[in-house]
Amino acid sequence: MPINSEGYFESTFQVQSEWVDYNGHMNMGYYLVALDFSATDPFFDYLGIGQDYLKQTNKSTFTLGSNIDYIQEVFEGDPIRVTTQLLDWDPKRLHYIHLMYHAEKGFLSAVNELLSIHVNMETRKSDSFMDETLAKIETLSASHKTLPVPEQAFRKLGIRRKA
């Protein structure tokens, strides 16, 4: 079951050798690649808006924005566990966050917050999710509203100055 005992959507992957840079840790660019394929894609499949949905409806999702915070490095072969929480939504958009943990040591390695929009691929314009999808999103949202909002959510990038 992709929903873990705490109520988060959960996925896993392992750090691949080709993702490691000359510093010996996972390269920053591969965090987004790994999280996209190993967390966002399964999350969208769970909601019924993944690759099969595109083939059946000619509708998909595009990412409007993404923030990544690199907290603690991971290395080749490390097992990774990702929790995903739906933070907000409307009939065309999803706002969600991935928290990436070392699966054995338990530390938080990275956070990826995203905003996606539903798109009609024929017109390449935004379009409302179908009623069936909206019902799934609404159900998940109600469940995720009971979860604590991660402190990393809703972050703005900038230099913090002391007063």
Question: Domain locations in the chain?
Answer: 9-144
Lowest mean pLDDT among 1-10, 84-93, 97-106: 1-10
CB-based contacts of 43, cutoff 8 Å, min separation 6: 2, 9, 11, 84, 96
Residue 160 has pLDDT above 70, yes or no: yes
% residues pLDDT > 70 (the chain): 98
Q: How far apart are CA 84 and CA 22, in angstroms?
A: 30
Question: What per-residue confidence (pLDDT) applies to 1?
Answer: 59
Residue 68 has pLDDT above 90, yes or no: yes
- pLDDT bin (cut points 50, 70, 90) of residue 91 is very high
Residue 24 has pLDDT above 70, yes or no: yes
Residue 81 has pLDDT above 80, yes or no: yes
Each as own residue / partner, the long-range contacts of residues 51-60 (CB below 8 Å, 24 or more positions apart, any chain) are 54/121, 57/130, 58/120, 58/121, 58/122, 59/118, 59/119, 59/120, 59/121, 59/127, 59/130, 60/118, 60/119, 60/121
Helix (H) and strand (E) counts in the chain: 4, 6
- pLDDT bin (cut points 50, 70, 90) of residue 8 is very high
Question: What per-residue confidence (pLDDT) applies to 19?
Answer: 97
**Which tens digits make up the pLDDT trace of 41-63?**
999 999 999 999 999 999 999 99
Q: Which CATH architecture has domain 9-144?
A: Roll (3.10)
Q: How far apart are CA 64 and CA 53, in angstroms?
A: 19
Distance between start and end Cα atoms, the chain? 48
Q: Which amino acid is at 134?
A: L
Number of CB atoms found within 10 A of residue 157's CB: 6
What pTM value is reported for the model? Answer: 0.93
**Which tens digits make up the pLDDT trace of 132-158?**
999 999 999 999 999 999 999 998 777
For 15, 113, 116, 142, 158, the CA distances from 61, given in Å and listed in that order, are 26, 15, 6, 21, 28
